[in-house]
Chains A and B, each alone.
Chain A
């Protein structure tokens, strides 16, 4: 198992390099001159020239890349062109809210989806099974911004049940909780469909396996069979799927945060790009990519831990 995990970590190295290259590419490929943008509307040519030298924009690409790697190694992502704060501090401020949002989305959607999927599998062929499957296909086909807008329109405005503007505070406070519900429900929605479907397929597969048949022969009730034997094994591919969906969820977070004015990484990324704040854009994109890699790695390791076949290897 250790070998499995080590291998997984090794695979991440080229991926990390890819992220670094992407980040560097972003900075050198920007149209126009970052120094001019940085200097602002009132800058004299001398000021711009100084910034260019300071940022090393006049040096050959290889040298720039070297500088860039060095800065990365020191955790120096530069400063935001707009706020002049370090990119790292901006990211640190936004990462918590995004993590909270992801957590809040997963915490309700995964259990709900697994429940629905299991229910559908147990009652396969029934009307309920079909209904659940139909809903899950519809769920994956809805544009996420539409879910968000409808949430605001109905829950927020028409029924005035919950706030939809920004973040109310940390998750454990009442205001924090109230504010995160709508974005978390919108974001989690995109996960329900695929996870429910995967659970259903997976539970159906497991139910065909030998030891489940044996258990059934022993006269155990269908419910306890599913809970004891079916679900645990069935969850393995589901966990993988959740990992694969992480990218989609992160992408969804970008949209959701923008709609709900939620101060997370996604909104920061969109804002930075729209305001040509290149260092910040670079930072946010890299942190999102890193998060994605990290989630996938965790999932793979979790997979190794969950899967009994892997353990015996």
Chain B
């Protein structure tokens, strides 16, 4: 899927031309739109406490109120209320926030660790076979499985889900980081640096890391959508966030009980997940097209 295509693309094309990519990206109207949507969502998530019309945890007697566009909707609860009379819009802001945090933290953690070992493997070729074996082993445990295993050990909650998603992000990033770094290692300035007698640490951080980091980060952002989906699935199965926390997957799961009578309770958070992931994937595609000149035209 997205990440894999992109992986293949980056694999062959590294190091990508970093400079002009974003300006080219912004010339693509669809990518521009996806960026705008994502930005809007992120802003809403960050500003959740400021813009939420109600306390997302406060129940009320107005249960299962429909959203504004349905008969019986009111401006007081634009997206209606859930089965406990909590304001859906406010819960959506908070839920999106937690879902995004889970995604960012796990991709961030897993990506950092993954790229570190990937870069190490490229920097010290002797390490390479070991690192790659490790990565192969890790690839054999799909994220949902890791999530299940961790929840079995730690009990349900946000933390095991984040850990599982982080671990699941390691192998892909490690591979990509390595392939990007290998081509950087071939470049003259590394040789030059060695010749000048720079220490390994200096070479690693000042040259290798600095030259790889943006490509790696782009790749990590591509994985984001998938991670969000898996995290939501785990929450949906009852293995993630606990009440009264709002998290999109859990909200959808709770909404199941009302599917027949108040479908908006399940549909709204599900659609939100869809929008986030779709925007990320569209942006990822556009990014890949920009970074992989072969597929343009």
B5 contacts partner chain A, Cβ-Cβ < 8 Å: yes
CB pair B232–A281 under 8 Å, yes or no, is no
CA distance A171 to B135 in the complex (A): 37
**Chain B 256-295 against A: per-residue CB contact (8 Å), 1 yes, 0 no?**
1001100100100010011001101110010000000001
Pick the interface stretch among B54-62, B138-146, B190-198: B138-146
- Check B137–A143 contact: CB distance below 8 A: no
Using A143-B232, A153-B259 as known contacts, say yes or no to A245 and B1 having CB atoms under 8 A apart: yes
Docked Cα-Cα span, A11 to B132, in Å, equals 11
Q: Which residues of A contact B140 (CB under 8 A)?
A: 15, 18-19, 247, 289, 292-293, 296
Checking B138, B144, B233, B263 against A250 with a beta-carbon cut-off of 8 angstroms, the contacting residue is B144
Interface flag for A141 (CB, 8 Å): yes
Q: A14, A146, A292: which has the most chain B beta carbons within 10 Å?
A: A146
Known contacts A198-B5, A201-B5, A254-B237; A146 and B270 CB within 8 A of each other: yes
Q: How many residues of B contact A (CB 8 A)?
A: 49
What is the minimal beta-carbon distance from A123 to any residue of chain B, in angstroms?
16
B252 & A146 in contact (Cβ 8 Å cutoff):
yes
Contact A285 B152 (CB under 8 A): yes
Q: Is A145 an interface residue (CB 8 A)?
A: yes
Give chain A residues whose Cβ lies under 8 Å from the Cβ of B5.
197-198, 201
Q: Answer yes or no: B105 CB below 8 A from chain A CBs.
A: no
CB-CB contacts below 8 Å: B107-151 with A: 133, 136-145, 148-149, 151
Question: For the complex, is A31 an interface residue (Cβ under 8 Å from B)?
Answer: yes
Question: Closest CB of chain B to A285's CB: distance in Å?
Answer: 5
Q: Are B232 and A251 in contact (CB under 8 A)?
A: no
A:278-309 near B, CB below 8 Å: 278, 281-282, 285, 288-289, 292-293, 296
What residues of chain B lie closer than 8 Å to A22, measured between beta carbons? 141, 149
**Which of A137, A282, A292 has the most chain B CB atoms closer than 10 A to its own CB?**
A137
Which residues of chain A are near B295, meaning CB under 8 Å? 201
* Given A141-B274, A143-B273, A201-B295, A194 contacting B4 (CB threshold 8 A): yes
Q: Is B2 an interface residue (CB 8 A)?
A: yes
Check if A14 sits within 8 Å of B4, measured CB to CB: no
Chain B contacts of A258 at CB under 8 A?
237
Of A15, A140, A142, A289, which one neighbours B145 at CB under 8 angstroms? Answer: A289
CB A198 to nearest CB in B, in angstroms, measures 7
Question: Does B93 sit within 8 A of A, measured CB to CB?
Answer: no
Per a CB cutoff under 8 Å, which of A143, A145, A248, A278 touches B142?
Answer: A248
A269 CB-CB contact with B under 8 Å: yes
Which of A143, A153, A245 has the most C-beta atoms of chain B within 10 angstroms of its own C-beta?
Answer: A143
Residues of B within 8 A of A272 (CB): 152
Q: A31: nearest residue on chain B (CB-CB)?
A: B155
- How far apart sit A44 and B270, CA to CA, in the bound complex (Å)? 47
A225 to chain B, nearest CB (A): 21
Whether the Cβ atoms of A31 and B252 lie closer than 8 Å is no
Using Cβ atoms and an 8 Å threshold, which residues of chain A touch B153?
A: 25-26, 29-31
Question: How far apart are the CA atoms of A136 and B117 in the complex, in Å?
Answer: 33
Interface pair A141/B152, CB less than 8 Å apart: no
Closest approach, in angstroms, between the C-beta of A38 and any C-beta of chain B? 15
Q: Which of B155, B237, B249, B260 contacts A157 (CB 8 A)?
A: B260
* Given A201-B295, A285-B148, A11 and B233 contact (CB-CB distance below 8 Å): no
A35 located at the interface, meaning its Cβ lies under 8 Å from any Cβ of chain B in the complex? no
Q: Is A185 interfacial (CB 8 A cutoff)?
A: no
Please, how many angstroms separate the alpha-carbon atoms of A133 and B259 in the complex? 30
Q: Is the CB of A146 within 8 A of B274?
A: yes
Known A-B contacts A146-B274, A258-B237; the reply to A273 vs B151 at CB < 8 A is: yes
The interface residues of chain A lying within 8 Å CB-to-CB of B230 are 251
Contact B252 A273 (CB under 8 A): no
10 tightest Cβ-Cβ pairs between the two chains A and B = A247-B142, A251-B144, A194-B1, A141-B278, A141-B277, A146-B270, A18-B137, A29-B153, A273-B152, A281-B152
Please, could you name 16 A-B residue pairs with CB atoms under 8 Å apart, sorted by A?
Answer: A11-B136, A22-B149, A31-B153, A31-B155, A137-B278, A141-B274, A144-B229, A146-B274, A149-B252, A153-B260, A194-B1, A241-B4, A251-B233, A252-B144, A270-B239, A273-B148
Q: Which residues of A contact B (CB under 8 A)?
A: 11, 14-15, 18-19, 22, 25-26, 29-31, 137-138, 140-146, 149, 152-153, 157, 193-194, 197-198, 201, 241, 244-245, 247-248, 250-252, 254-255, 258, 269-270, 272-274, 276, 278, 281-282, 285, 288-289, 292-293, 296
